[in-house]
Structures are given as structure tokens and as C-alpha cells.
Structure 1
């Protein structure tokens, strides 16, 4: 057996706000969407490079307020790109940590936290 990866699931409550934040602001792309019927909750996958995240309106899939960390290269240009978008609900900082990483933390409209980080020792 070989583990192949992990895909976190974040709880969302509003499709429009989720897409504005994840697709327009952060720059993820929409991979696919699924609803069992037109009036039922949405479940969809977004991705950026090799990172995939599932977003779900389904009650019980997960709790709002979760957190993930995404390692990346080129964090400073990504941070500048976010600030240049002048998104009304987020102006993330960039900080260096005692564990030799540079981090940029964003919180989505549903209180889920994503920490984009770059190891400084590499």
C-alpha cells in the first residue's frame, strides 16, 4: 500500500461567496461540481497546481473553522498578487516565523483558515 495524497474538505454556506474568494481572489480553478438535485447542496473541487480542496455545502461533511497549511515556492509574489487585487474582505500579512518559514494566512468567508507558507531553510 502507498498513500497518494490528501484532499481537505472545507464547509461553505454560500456558493457565490466561495467562488469569489477561492477562484477570483486566491486564483484556484474550478475542477468539477456536483449536486444530487438542483435544490440540494453543492459539492465541488478546486485546485491550484498540485493542491486540491473540496468545498461542501453539505451539513455534516465538516465543521467551519478548519485550518490547512499549503507549502509553496514564490510566496512573496503570491502575497503581492493578493494585495494588488484589493479584495474588500482580506488584506493578509506576510510574516517570518521562529521555525524558519515565511507565512501568509487567509481566512475564507466561512472562517476556514489557509496558511500559505514557504520554508526559508531550503
Structure 2
């Protein structure tokens, strides 16, 4: 999409199979499609003075880059450390390897969450 290109906001209420791996997401898109996002954006625009189009672009970019911003916050080295046990476990293809990966990732997440669990840092 080029800058200034128009997009049409449309509802999605298509049908999907029960075994569709994207069924939950499709149901969410259909549910949220019942709402008028421009109502909120117009109000926010009136309050902030930011054009509706700029707000829509912000919302779309923010949503679309959530994974990327998580990478920036966590850092590529830590993302690789968290991903590596999963890749090893999937390559091994055993429940034992998956359990070992779970334990390794659990330890890493515990280390990352330690500052959040410290009442002195975050009362």
C-alpha cells in the first residue's frame, strides 16, 4: 500500500469450518466488525486534533507491529534464547524433549519476571 492509498473498511461475516486453524481469529474479526471504529476515532480526533486518518494509521501500525515491538523490548538475543529450546524439542519430536523445553523456558521467564515480582521495585 502506498501512502495516501484508500482502503475500504468492510465487515467480515464469512463462514468457516470448525477445524479451520484460524476459526477463532475469524470469529473475532466478525464480532469486531459489528462495531464502528470510526466513532471512536472521530471522538479521539476531536479531542486531540489528530486527523482521523493519522489515528487509523497509528492503530493499524501499532496492532500490526505488536510482535516486532515485543522483539525490540525483549531484545533479539533473549528471543533467540527463548526460541531455541522449542526448536530443539520440535526437532527431537518427543514429549520428554518438549517437557525439557518447557522447563528451560519457564526458568528464563522466571528470570525475566523477577523484577516484576520484587515488591521493592514495583509495590
TM-score interval w.r.t. the shorter chain? under 0.3
Normalising by structure 2, report the TM-score: 0.18
Tell which structure's C-alpha radius of gyration is larger.
2
Instruction: Name the structure, 1 or 2, with higher relative contact order (CA <8 Å, separation 6+).
Output: 1
Structure with greater proportional strand content = 1
* Structure showing the higher helix proportion among its residues: 2
